[in-house]
Amino acid sequence: MSAAVLYMSVSLDGYIADAGDRLGGTDGNRLHHWGLMPDGETFRSGGVAGEMLAEYNATGAVVAGRRTVEIVDHWGGDHHGMPIFVPSHRPAGESAAKHPLVTYVTDGIASAMRQAKEAAGDRDVLVHGAYTGQRAIEAGVLDEVQIHQIPVLLGGGRRLFDTLPSPVELEIVRVIDTPEATHLRYRIRRA
Amino acid sequence: MSAAVLYMSVSLDGYIADAGDRLGGTDGNRLHHWGLMPDGETFRSGGVAGEMLAEYNATGAVVAGRRTVEIVDHWGGDHHGMPIFVPSHRPAGESAAKHPLVTYVTDGIASAMRQAKEAAGDRDVLVHGAYTGQRAIEAGVLDEVQIHQIPVLLGGGRRLFDTLPSPVELEIVRVIDTPEATHLRYRIRRA
């Protein structure tokens, strides 16, 4: 069964970015150190980080929030070659039109996820973005959450989880303990 | 070396209590299920929960926030028989006077921690409360954080971590993976 999985690096105090939408730390990228080579750009191919990268790359579609995709200009239109769906109530901006793999979905998160799952076939759907992740949980269309929990307190910024209309029970699926990050995978329990 | 350790049960979305100061869930105690027997009151003596309880009970003093102690009326004056220090800018209320092991400290968190460490001798100091924990981190007098991370999104309430004046780096000391909770212990790195 294909699953929609929210992948996010988050500080222990729950932040995914500082107030300036940087990922924290003196180089603005603290939350991704666990997965990056010392150059700060190349993803590690070995070890646990390599396993995580392989999981991302095995997904068959991406659902990402508008804020996320606009910060990175839709990853130049190419997120491991897979189709990218962006739920947004506003129509796509000019930059999106350059990218044939990018589709803006204006009729809601459930529709975006349905289209992504169709595109992904048997593969999982990679979900990115705090706002999008929470709306997907609310709408009952998120299946799993993969947190990379980083041993730092950022002290402020944008949170991964803000408020939800009611509590959501999770099942712990997998815990991977490394010095750089604790990789926690949860399955959302349906009420 | 004796350490000051913040012990807190927290939901994945970072809450230690719902908006009504309950711990969440239909019985108002969701965040403590991992440590409690089915009666909802007795702490488990076996397994990982028993090990955690043994760690609490091995501490030699308690520093707890005023909000925390007033909710539980100072644990009836007895928190595993150890002295309890309550940092507060306001003097103690009437209920505190009944409890000889309870000391209100009005000259700051650093003073409260110093007194607690003196009382604890070689043993650790157990720190309770979100506000108190954060003020201790800010003041540089907290050494470790023991999180019991519960697989639930409470969706709202009081947070363990709110804002800090600057980022704080942590070292992951121990990860214990159980179906009911992920027990994460961190050491605070001094700048």
At B94-127, the pLDDT tens digits run 888 899 999 999 999 999 999 999 999 999 999 9
Give yes or no for residue B164 having a pLDDT over 80: yes
Element holding B15 (H helix, E strand): strand B15-17
User: How near does any CA of chain B get to the CA of A169, in Å?
Assistant: 5
Question: Can you point out the beta strands (E) in B31-181?
Answer: 61-64, 84-87, 102-105, 125-128, 144-150, 152-153, 158-159, 168-177
Mean pLDDT of chain A: 93
Which residue in the set B24, B167, B182 is minimally distant from A153, CB to CB? B167
How far is it, in rounded angstroms, from Cα B72 to Cα A151?
31
Q: Please give the average per-residue pLDDT across B50-75, as a whole number.
A: 93
Are B186 and A151 in contact, with CB atoms under 8 Å apart?
A: yes
Residue A26 has pLDDT above 80, yes or no: no
More confidently predicted of A98 and B95 = A98
Number of domains comprising chain B: 1
Q: Are A155 and B172 in contact (CB < 8 Å)?
A: no
Record: contact A186-B159, CB cut-off 8 A? no
Instruction: Say what the pLDDT of residue B21 is.
Output: 76
Average pLDDT of the segment spanning B139-168: 95
Residue B88: predicted pLDDT:
95
**Residue A123's pLDDT is what?**
98
* Confidence class for position A156, pLDDT limits 50, 70, 90: very high
How far apart CA B176 and CA A175 sit, in angstroms, is 9
Q: Say how far apart CA B180 and CA B191 lie, in whole Å.
A: 34
Q: Which residues of A touch B (CB under 8 A)?
A: 12-14, 24-25, 30, 137, 145, 147, 149, 151-156, 159-161, 163-172, 175, 177, 179, 182, 184, 186
Going by pLDDT thresholds of 50, 70 and 90, the confidence category of residue A128 is very high
Does residue B191 register a pLDDT over 90? Answer: no
Structural domain boundaries enclosing B64: 4-188
The pLDDT score that the predictor gives to residue B95 is 83
Radius of gyration of chain B, Cα coordinates, nearest whole angstrom:
16
Q: What angle do CA B159, B160, B165 make, to 5 degrees?
A: 100
Interface residue ranges in chain B relative to chain A, Cβ cutoff 8 Å = 12-14, 24-25, 30, 137, 145, 147, 149, 151-156, 159-161, 163-172, 175, 177, 179, 182, 184, 186
* DSSP designation for A30: G
pLDDT in tens, B75-91: 999 999 999 999 999 99
Kindly report, residue by residue over B42-60, the tens digit of the pLDDT.
889 899 999 999 999 999 9
The size of chain A, in residues, is 191
| pLDDT greater than 90 at residue B22 | no
More confident residue, B133 or A95: B133
pLDDT score for B43:
87
**Contact list, B165 vs chain A (CB under 8 Å):** 155
A176 burial via Cβ count (<10 Å: 0-12, 13-18, 19+): middle
Q: Is the pLDDT score of A44 beyond 80? A: yes
Over residues B128-142, mean pLDDT: 96
Closest CA to B17 of B34, B4, B32: B32
Mean pLDDT of A19-31: 79
Amino acid at A144: E
Across the interface, whether the CB atoms of A12 and B137 are under 8 A apart is answered: no
For chain A, the farthest-separated pair of C-alpha atoms sits apart, in whole angstroms, at 45
| B20 has pLDDT over 90 | no
pLDDT of residue A158: 92
Residue A148 has pLDDT above 80, yes or no: yes
The CATH number of whichever domain residue A141 belongs to comes to 3.40.430.10
**Residue A152: partners with Cβ closer than 8 Å, 6 or more residues away:** A11, A12, A24, A25, A30, A31, B167, B168, B169, B170
CB B171 within 8 A of CB B186: yes
Q: Which of A69-83, A132-146, A170-184 has the lowest mean pLDDT?
A: A69-83
Nearest residue of B to residue A184 by CA position? B182
Residue appearing with tokens 């506000």: B131
* Closest by Cα among A19, A23, A148 to B165: A19
Rounded average pLDDT over A175-189: 97
**Could A167 and B30 be called an inter-chain contact, meaning their C-beta atoms sit closer than 8 Å?**
yes
Does the pLDDT value for residue A23 go beyond 80?
no
Task: Decide if pLDDT at A77 tops 90.
Answer: yes
Measured between CA atoms, the residue of chain A closest to residue B150 is A170
Q: Helix, strand, or coil here: A138? A: helix
User: Which chain B residue's Cα is nearest to A185?
Assistant: B151
Q: What is the pLDDT of residue A164?
A: 93
Residue B2's pLDDT band, with cuts at 50, 70 and 90, is: very high
Which chain A residues touch B160 with a CB distance below 8 Å? 13
- Alpha-carbon distance of B21 to B128, in angstroms, equals 15
Largest CA distance in chain B: 45
Q: Which residues contact B41 (CB under 8 A, 6 or more apart)?
A: none
